[in-house]
Structure 1
Amino acid sequence: MAEAHSAVAFSFTITHDGVNINYDHDIIYAVWQSGLRSWRRRLTKFWNNVWTGAYPASPYSLLIIAVILAFLTWKERDVSHGFIDFLSYYFTDNPLVATFSIAAFYAVYTVVLWLIFVNIVRYCVKMLFMYKGWMYETRTGKITTATKLWLSIIKFIVKRKPQLYSFQGSLPNLPVPPLTETMKRYLLSVKPLLDDEKHKRMQKLAVDFENGIGKKLQRYLVLKSWWSTNYVSDWWEEFIYLRGRGPLMINSNFYGLDAILIHPTSVQAARAAGFIHAAFLFRRCIDRQTLTPIMVQGIVPLCSSQYERVFNTTRIPGKETDKLVHYDDSQHVVVYHAGRYFKLPVYYMGRLLRPVELQRQIEKILQDESPPQPGEAYLGALTAVERTLWAEAREKYFSKGINKASLTTIEKAAFFVTLDEETYEYDANDPSKLNAFGCAMLHGKGYDRWFDKSFNIIVAKNGRVGLNAEHSWADAPIMSHAWEFCLAQESKSNWYNEFGNCEGESRNNLFPPSRLKFDFSPHIVEIIDNCMQSSQTAIADVDLRLLMHKAYGKGFMKKCRVSPDAYIQMALQLAYYRDSNKFSLTYEASMTRLYREGRTETVRPVTIESCEWVKSMMDPNATREKKIDLLRIACNRHQKGYQDAMCGQGIDRHLFCLYVVARYLNVESPFLNEVLSEPWRLSTSQTPHGQTDLLDLRKNPDHISAGGGFGPVADDGYGVSYIIAGEDIIFFHISSKVSSPETDSDRYRRNIEQALADMKTLFEQSS
């Protein structure tokens, strides 16, 4: 075993003949190479920090400033304002000390001037990025001269290729919207959802809040925005995610699926090896900052701070609040197979193992026939249940000994890998297979995922892959970028031969995977079994349906002269009204990464305009022209709300932060209590493409991911995720609860199909 081999890497004995030293050359060399890799990472990180800290200026500008100062000194210009003369006079009796003092002064003076120059440039760029008028003008196509000039300046600034974190110091802080404007937007958003009496009551509550405690809360929030980088993100992470005591499985974690139209290999070990290798290549790109930050229209950068915790991150349960722990580096993953946990090293002699080498290692895991230890098979169920229960069990049974050591190995892993014993497939003639694939990625068996890890890679027995991601550390676009990178890397690299195995030769002296050990008492085994049963109950209540809509896609929607996202949102509203015969508060996520450390804001798709259009679709007397006009008006209104949210002019994050301030001050607000207790019965989200240049879908139309989804937010509502895959395909992931008499995911899926078909008919008949 690897442990025994490591134990004798270095030893010595004392005999009558003297001291006998025995050591293993390979292991000592591996330790040396590992140390070199660690120092290289530190130096690379240091240089990248210097480079990105100076951007859009260059570190080479330091040399230019030094040359200018030297030239001015040579011309006998006093750049020190008399300080050099003072040093020369003070150290007259010791010229050597005077020379070193003057040199030190010039070095410090040069660095100070350079830092001043860099900060001036960065703040100028930050002021430029504060301007958001370009978003609204590009939508209408009426770009003013001032915006054209602004765009020219921004294009010149980003002309030099930036690194991943280059713009972090130049992005503006998220502004706090005026309280009056937020109140107006909120009352307008709930008008179509409330009758006249309830709306008047809500107006009174809003006025009382705005003229009363709201002013005080707003002042504290503005003060926080001056002091912190982002006035929302830290509280959002803490109160929405980490303080939540409910299970992560289904309720919080989200999932992603394979590119279902292709199947590179059916060999489980080979596919797992390829994806593990690709994931570590992505981590290397993050560490070295070779990724280009995602730019809106190729010009305006999005915040990249969420990439820092993609790998080596885990969520630690607490009795009252969890915490996210990020480790600087990890050279292993933990693999779960057939109820056993294995530590799989992915580096040897300081280098990343090649796919063929990883395949050989994974094959050893698959060939291991040792049975699970008592309680080991269902151990992952602890991460699937209420957080307080898991925190208490962790503190009592995993705080010492081999249980602590094994748990630490899991938590310090770069990510978690599950080798499923089931097969998953896509069949155009059998939608239930894709539904089963999605369910497996969302929750698995309830105990074969480690829901606390930043993400899990799941590999089916037939080589299909998927992921399950924890939500608190980042939002879906970051994981989408990583997933697309792995799919693209796999496609471009051609790792697999005609038999489905990884190409190449493998070294024979690699450290083999090591089995994790546990020592569970009967009591903790009973707790684990109870958690497993609880997870099974939750799984049985999930109603998940996937829809691959192939009738048309964004290509047709663009011809209708509306935003594809707004078009789909209107289809979801029409489908929901037909499904429930009412309008309900709807959540759509919009990113706020135009600001530093931005995450998301809520777009409220239910508007007066969208309701008028839906009602017209239900009215047999409404003309086709009227329906089309109302649809375009509703889509434009939705896109305006989306842009407002992106620009920090949303509703819900502002009200949420005001509520947090109120809780800290221990004051009650009937208005905020009522607003934040309103259920989101329809929660929607678009799964974005991370980087469109990773793989050209025009040349590789089959390399499309089916996207991913999440569980329902409300017990009597739907969770809908969709991805616009190429020009002619849209995937929908629809979830609800079996126990709710109000919902039926399959019924809502049919309503979405019908809504999209009816909308297409509108435009086809009008032409």
Structure 2
Amino acid sequence: MAEAHQAVAFQFTVTPDGIDLHLCHEALRQVYLSGLHSWKKRFIRFKNGVMTGVYPGSPSGLLVVLVGYVSTTKYAKIDPSLGIFTKLSTHLPISKYVTEEGQRIVGGVLVGTGLWITVTFVMRNILKCLLSWHGWMFSRHGSLSLKTKIWLVLVKLFSGQKPMLYSFQSSLPRLPVPPVKDTVRRYLESARPLMDDEQYKRMEGLAKDFEKNLGPKLQWYLKLKSWWTSNYVSDWWEEYIYLRGRGPIMVNSNYYAMDFLFVIPTSIQAARAGNSIHALMMYRRKLDRAQIKPLMVLNTIPMCSSQYERMFNTSRTPGVEADVLQHVNESKHIAVFHKGRFYKVWMFYDGRLLLPREIEQQIERILMDKSEPQPGEEMLAALTAGDRVPWAKARTQFFSRGKNKQSLDAVEKAAFFVTLDDSEQRFDPDNPVQSLDSYGKSLLHGKCYDRWFDKSFNLIVFKNGTMGLNGEHSWADAPVIGHLWEHVLSSDPVRLGYSEDGHCKGNPHPNLPGPQRLQWDIPEECQTVIDSSLKVAQALADDVDMHIFPFNDFGKGLIKKCKTSPDGFIQLALQLAHFRDKGKFCLTYEASMTRLFREGRTETVRSCTTQTCDFVRAMMNGKATREEKLKLLRTAAEKHQDMYRLAMTGNGIDRHLFCLYLVSKYLGEDSAFLKEVLSEPWRLSTSQTPLQQAELFDLKRHPEYVTSGGGFGPVADDGYGVSYIILGEDFINFHISSKHSSPETDSHRFGNHIKQAMLEILELFQLDNKAKDK
């Protein structure tokens, strides 16, 4: 094979005349270029570390301070060292080694640098104090108070110029620990609409007892942790919610992101893979160089960027008791799966990243390969889809040495994983329901053996050119993958583009070594474990009831005319739809971000409130007037917004209760209150997929380039998982999941209830019919 020939850098032969050495100049050239690329990357990381470490100061600012300080002191005839050298000269013979002029320059540099460091330190801490104030979030929507405007100006003033991705990390405040009293009060408030009087009285007693006795003791330890660590929640959340889970991560944890809904830029599978893989690698290059702009609220307030660090070159390694996230700093290849075979594809040649047409060339070679999978190879990835303990034991027993270890390393240390799916998926206008449901299920679990679910993310490219992502959840939350996916989708048809015949632009490379087929030696005993994991995964996948539907009757344009938050409007519709579906209310999870704080991840908004229930009951009551319903709607929507703000500003209740529970376990203390709170199932789990880079998509001029968002599996066996994305002014896409095995749920039925609820709530506002048609 070509790659085997290129791998030989030199050969030597022992002859009677000595050793005859034959060098392969091309191989040595590649070694040189690879080393050059590696050192460039190290230098960039070092430079970025320095730039981030001194931010909001900068080297140019240091130069200005030094020149200004030395010039001013020289003009004013002041000793720039402020007497440092005079004092030192009494103990050291400095004048023998440094002239008087040199002493002035060195002294000026030392004092000027100290002054610059002091100013930078002061600016950083002032910015940290400013970012600790969150009163701006509680301003009325669309209007900012004078206090908030002044605060925004100050934040901009102390934020420095041209920040890089991680520039604000040391300026972000720590996540505060809410008082136990406040958390207990808010919990009881959220539990009241879900309990009858007797249940609530019992829970109130447990809560008050906890607040008075055990709570303060646990709180003390949690406060201590918050002072000692960057974030008192995130490390425990990652470990206990994700890495210690022993069930399958497929469906239960992993999530997916979809392609454009109405258009496929090319139907050539290899070409679509070429552009998208190149776009992903370009994003990684920006990430390595910290050139991605940090996400800013109101274009001013920075959000934490720590989750981006493990986006690439990361894999979740199974363990018997807990998994571990394995991350390598650099990876120059990707792993590709096609028809049961694994390949290692190098992404660099001649010291540069492969161009889209060259990547397409590599993918074409894989697609044309007619070889059969090795014994046990085809279903191998099912190990990542089943229970974690069998996979952990099999990994230790069968993949710790020889060719199996080398091939597994190639997969786990790849930049990311690519599946060339041999099925065809896309939105079919003639069969919208079945086509989208099939597409969503394929991205969520596929055949259960054609995705490497442990990788940070899988790029899936279907036979007809449609594509999507499957993301592993432990290393980061969905908005981070969403940011990456927006970059890929905006780069693919617009910036990179395709030739008239549907191929990537450019020409194939005449001397490019081909992909490397990974070799496995999988014994029958291991194949038995693979078959067992596959059965577990297939049972789980077959039970998923998926329904995806585009809602285009109206969007946020009309909702804003109702002077209501679009997210609050949709959450109320979900509560009304759920009550119609099941005839009862349930504990509801809505994810919100806590990335206003350092290393922040998520917090829960408990969307089912007393105010929401009052509104739903009014909607179900034929005797209630429109004015009464409208008043209750506004009250419920405002309550929802307040809860969302509290969650984002570190005053949510669920992460606090979770950490208090962990401390109680470490101390060996039992709390009936905490145990009962954390055992309550989330029968309605919801999440909005935010469009974070709207400037990348011109939906007015190109409405066809609208993404479908993404979704996840159901959290409870008898509940629903709902994800939605608000696109443009007139479009909302819903993703609903549940389980066929539950007699209480039906995703399609629930979808119909959501449509009905959305239309009924809009009807309350009696907007002009002409406005609806726009």
Fold-level similarity (TM above 0.5): yes
Partner of 1:487: 489
Query: Which residues in structure 2 correspond to 1:402-551 (within 5 Å)?
Result: 402-430=403-431, 431-551=433-553
- 8 Å contact from structure 1 (residues 719, 734) kept in 2: yes
Give ranges in structure 1 of 5+ residues lacking alignment. none
Q: Give matches, 1:583-598, under 5 Å.
A: 583-598=585-600
**Inter-CA distance 91–400: structure 2 relative to 1 (3 Å threshold):** same
Equivalent in the alignment of 1:757: 759
Compare 713-722 and 85-94 and name the one that shifted more.
85-94
Deviation at 1:502, TM superposition (A): 1.1
**Corresponding residue SS for 2:141:** helix
Partner of 2:220: 219
CA contact (8 A) 1:50 1:59 kept: no
CA contact (8 A) 1:482 1:690 kept: no
User: What is the Cα deviation at residue 53 of structure 1?
Assistant: 2.3
Distance in 2 between residues matched to 1:72 and 1:409, nearest whole Å: 60
Task: Find the aligned partners of 2:94 and 2:712 in 1 and give their Cα distance.
Answer: 77
Q: State the shift of 1:302 in Å.
A: 1.1
**Cα offset, 1:107, TM superposition:** 5.7
Instruction: Give the structure 2 partner of residue 54 of structure 1.
Output: 54
Please name the residue that 1:679 is paired with.
681
Equivalence for 2:710: 708
CA-atom RMSD, angstroms?
Answer: 1.9
* Secondary structure in 2 matching 1:727: coil
Distance in 1 separating the partners of 2:16 and 2:408 = 44
d(CA) in 2 for partners of 1:511, 1:105: 58
What code does the residue aligned with 1:713 have?
V
The one-letter amino acid of 1:219's match is: W
Q: Deviation of residue 623 (structure 1)?
A: 0.6
- Report if the CA contact (8 A) 1:484-1:691 is conserved: yes
Separation in structure 2 between the aligned mates of residue 399 and residue 98 of structure 1, nearest angstrom: 65
Equivalents in 2 of 1:358, 1:587: separation in Å?
A: 42
For residues 215-256 of structure 1, the C-alpha deviation after alignment (integer angstroms, 9 at most, x for no partner) is: 011111111111111111111111111111111100000001
**Cross-structure match for 1:306:** 307
Q: What is the CA deviation profile of residues 330-367 of structure 1, one whole-angstrom value per residue up to 9, with x for unaligned ones? A: 11100000000000111112211111101111100000
Judge conservation of contact 2:7–2:27 (CA < 8 Å) in 1.
no
Separation of aligned partners in 1, 2:34 and 2:7: 18
Aligned twin of 1:565: 567
Q: Distance in 1 between matches of 2:626 and 2:430?
A: 34
Give runs of aligned pairs for residues 270-309 of structure 1, distance below 5 A.
270-309=271-310
State the 1:762 CA deviation: 1.9
CA distance in structure 2 between the partners assigned to 1:525 and 1:243 by the alignment: 25
Question: Is contact 1:91–1:98 with CA below 8 Å preserved after alignment?
Answer: no
Cα distance per residue 1:686-733 (max 9 Å; x no partner): 111131222222222111110110000001111111111221111111
Against the structure 1 CA distance between its residues 3 and 765, is the aligned structure 2 distance closer, same or farther, given a 3 Å change threshold? Answer: closer
Partner SS for 2:687: strand
The 3-state SS of whatever aligns with 2:264 is coil
1:20 CA drift (Å): 2.1
1:25 aligns with 2:35: no
Cα-to-partner distance string for 1:570-615 (whole Å, 9 max, x where unaligned): 0000000000100000000000111111110000110111000000
Between stretches 624-633 and 402-411, larger displacement belongs to 624-633
Q: Which residue of 2 aligns with 1:349?
A: 350
Partner of 2:164: 163
Deviating more after overlay: 569-578 vs 92-101: 92-101
Structure 1 residue 11, shift from structure 2 partner: 2.1
**Counterpart residue identity of residue 523, structure 1:** E
Identity across aligned pairs (percent)?
A: 52
Q: What is the correspondence of 1:669-748 to structure 2 with a 5 Å cutoff?
A: 669-748=671-750
Query: Greater shift after overlay, 176-185 or 251-260?
Result: 176-185
Cα separation, partners in 2 of 1:159 and 1:224, compared to 1, 3 Å: closer
Query: CA deviation digits over 1:125-181, x for unaligned, max 9?
Result: 01011111111114373x433222112222334473322112111111111111111
Q: CA deviation at 1:82?
A: 4.6
Give the CA deviation at 1:113. 4.0
Report the CA distance between 1:508 and its aligned residue. Answer: 1.4
Letter of the 2:692 partner, please give it.
G
TM-score, normalised on structure 2?
A: 0.96
Q: Quote the residue 2:772 is aligned against.
A: none
| Partners of 1:757 and 1:248 in 2: CA distance | 36
Match of 1:199 in 2: 200
Greater shift in the superposed pair: 360-369 or 3-12: 3-12
Q: Which residue of 2 aligns with 1:327?
A: 328
Partners of 2:760 and 2:343 in 1: CA distance = 52
The amino acid across from 2:562 in the alignment is C
Q: Alpha carbons of 1:43 and 1:765: their partners in 2 closer, same or farther (altered >3 Å)?
A: closer
Whole-angstrom CA distance in 1 between matches of 2:337 and 2:115: 55
Task: Tell me the residue number matched to 2:231.
Answer: 230
- The alignment partner of 1:565 has SS state of helix
Aligned with 2:59: secondary structure? Answer: coil
Q: Once structures 1 and 2 are overlaid, which stretch shifts more, 552-561 or 581-590?
A: 552-561
Whether the 8 Å CA contact 2:594–2:648 is kept in 1: the answer is yes
Instruction: Give distance in 2, aligned partners of 1:667 and 1:107.
Output: 58
Measured at CA, do residues 401 and 160 of structure 1 come closer, stay the same or move farther in structure 2, by a change above 3 Å? same
Q: Which one-letter code corresponds to 2:333 in the other structure?
A: H
Number of the residue aligned with 1:626: 628
Q: Secondary structure at the match of 1:517?
A: coil
- Contact preservation (8 Å) 2:253, 2:472: yes
Instruction: State TM-score, norm by structure 1.
Output: 0.97
CA distance in 1, matches of 2:531, 2:173: 50
**What corresponds to 2:650 in structure 1?**
648
Deviation at 1:207, TM superposition (A): 0.8
Question: Match of 1:67?
Answer: 67
CA shift in 2, pair 1:80/1:508, >3 Å: same
Q: CA deviation at 1:675?
A: 0.4
**Deviation (angstroms), 1:495:** 2.8
Q: 1:235 to 1:474 in 2, by over 3 A?
A: same
Is the Cα contact below 8 Å between 1:458 and 1:465 reproduced in 2?
yes
* Count of residues paired in the alignment: 766
Flag the 1:679–1:98 CA change in 2: closer, same or farther, 3 A. farther
Return closer, same or farther for 1:212/1:693 CA change in 2, 3 Å cut-off. Answer: same
Tell me which residue corresponds to 2:11. 11
- Tell me how far apart the structure 2 counterparts of residues 333 and 167 of structure 1 sit (CA, whole Å): 31
